[in-house]
Amino acid sequence: MDVRLSQSRVRGRTRAPPSKSYTHRAILAAGYSDAAVVRDALVSADTKATMRAVRAFGGTVERDGQTVDVEGFDGRPETPDNVIDCANSGTTMRLVTACAGLGEGLTVLTGDDSLRSRPQGPLLDAVFDLDGRAESTRRNGQAPLVVGDGMAGGTVEIPGDVSSQYITALLMAGAVTDEGIDVELTTELKSAPYVDITLEVLDDFGIEATRTDDGFSVAGGQSYRPAGGEYSVPGDFSSISYLLAAGAAAGADDEPVVVEGARPSAQGDKAIVDIVRDMGAEVEWDEDAGELTVSVADLSGTTVDVGDTPDLLPTIAALGAIADGDTVIENCEHVRYKETDRVTAMAEELAKMGANVTEQQDRLTIHGGDTDLVGAEVDGRGDHRIVMSLTVAALVADGETTISGAEHVDVSFPNFFETMRDLGVDVTED
């Protein structure tokens, strides 16, 4: 699907979708349990992949709107009858890999072209070191994967600078092993707030897991039991970033943008509030009400380290193309290993719109003072975050912008363009 957008002003009240990160973890945690209800869940292409995996392991998943009722496999995943297709969801594949390692039989995991190009090797090595079977069919550390043979507990080493999802996967699975799992990090941990999210969800499901001097530890022999049998998902700050950016860059002079569903949580991407403020926008956050109010402003460049917030890079890059001066995004090499190489993708697509960009391996600099954005035909690269960030840039570009592959917003923000239209954006879907 292509979308065509013209320069627009945004105003009014809207609501952020539920957190994708929390929903993935909560659905799988419910699968590990005997039974649990997940409320306010994000229902998207990615989270549906995790629901399919829970079903494949012997659970049942029934959905009524954003309420997901799960009868779990109680810590003992069955051998699936068929291959588990994780589609484009890297979170699903990594979390499910460790779960599959617990099974007595073997599970085959695959996904689309993008997912089959993403690194899984360190997690496969960890499952193998914990006495499970874990192989890449192409012997390159990438899916399709074959995993199983009853992974045990114990101590395992793993790098922390490739994906924090490896640690999440091992902690979630380790709780239902006999011995538990101690994860020792061999490198600095990047995207650390995502492990904080995991620890928060585990605690809400009655699982004790802790940080250690060397990494993380989860005791074995535990049971997943949320209080009252229910868990509620908070709003998603990765998705909120596009709404805040739109309000700061293209808001109406007479009315701010108000974003509901912004309650405090462990999400590292809440840093977008301070980033937008640093660039000159006025943002008020009523944490008790869970409301963010942002007003349009003349933005200035800033410097941001995205070591812990990789999903914010596309949003910051789009804002940098709108702001005066240079915006420097540092510590971003790991952002190259997402649905696409997001560093190169934003550099190349913003350049099509007239942005002056300097790309380095671990740094992206957008020279906003030397940029006049114009409408262009750009490629969403099959990546929901690229599509939504280019939408922000299109709001201030002179002329019409066409974004191809816009349907990929379904991964995390299924009604994104409807939301944009409600805020006043001139958008047409083809």
How remote is the C-alpha of 222 from its chain's centroid? 27
For residues 144 and 273, membership in a common domain is answered with: no
Q: DSSP code of 346?
A: H
Q: Is 251 left (phi over 0), alpha (psi -120 to 50) or beta?
A: beta
> For the chain, how many residues are written?
430
Q: Which residues are annotated as a binding site for phosphoenolpyruvate?
A: 20, 90, 118, 165, 342, 385
For residues 213 and 290, membership in a common domain is answered with: no
CA 274, CA 285: separation in Å to the nearest integer?
A: 11
Residue type at 199 in one-letter notation: L
Domain span at 11: 3-17+235-429
**Element housing 290 (H / E):** none
- In a 3-state reduction of DSSP, which class is residue 163? coil
Boundary residue ending a domain (232, 248, 275): 232
State pTM to two decimals.
0.88
Sorted by sequence, the CB contacts under 8 Å of residue 418 that are 6+ apart come out as: none
- In a 3-state reduction of DSSP, which class is residue 345? helix
Q: Could you tell me the CATH number of the domain that includes residue 302?
A: 3.65.10.10
- Sign of torsion over alpha carbons 369, 375, 379, 385: positive
Boundary residue ending a domain (185, 204, 232): 232
CA 57, CA 206: separation in Å to the nearest integer?
A: 21
For residues 283 and 206, membership in a common domain is answered with: no
Q: Which residues are annotated as a binding site for 3-phosphoshikimate?
A: 20-21, 25, 163-165, 191, 311, 338
For residues 184 and 312, membership in a common domain is answered with: no
Chain segment 252-303, per-residue pLDDT in tens: 999 999 999 999 999 999 999 999 999 999 999 999 999 999 999 999 999 9
Secondary structure string (H, E, C) spanning 209-278: EEECCCEEEECCCCCCCCHHHEEECCECHHHHHHHHHHHHHHEECCECEEEECCCCCCCHHHHHHHHHHH
For residues 29 and 8, membership in a common domain is answered with: no
For residues 81 and 222, membership in a common domain is answered with: yes
Q: Which residues are annotated as a binding site?
A: 20-21, 25, 90, 118, 163-165, 191, 311, 338, 342, 385
Whether 311 is a known active-site residue: answer yes
For residues 75 and 172, membership in a common domain is answered with: yes
Ordered mean pLDDT values, 10 residues apiece, the chain (430 residues) = 98 95 98 98 96 98 97 98 97 98 98 96 98 98 98 96 96 98 96 96 98 97 98 96 98 96 94 98 96 98 97 98 98 94 98 98 97 98 97 98 97 96 96
For residues 200 and 246, membership in a common domain is answered with: no
For residues 188 and 280, membership in a common domain is answered with: no
For residues 184 and 247, membership in a common domain is answered with: no
Chain segment 28-59, per-residue pLDDT in tens: 999 999 999 999 999 999 999 999 999 999 99
3-state helix, strand and coil shares in percent for the chain, rounded to the nearest 5: 35, 25, 40
Boundary residue ending a domain (232, 258, 284): 232
For residues 253 and 222, membership in a common domain is answered with: no
Q: Is 87 left (phi over 0), alpha (psi -120 to 50) or beta?
A: left
| Number of domain units in the chain | 2
> Which residue is catalytic, options 46, 308, 311, 410?
311
Chain segment 189-224, per-residue pLDDT in tens: 999 999 999 999 999 999 999 999 999 999 999 999
For residues 12 and 92, membership in a common domain is answered with: no
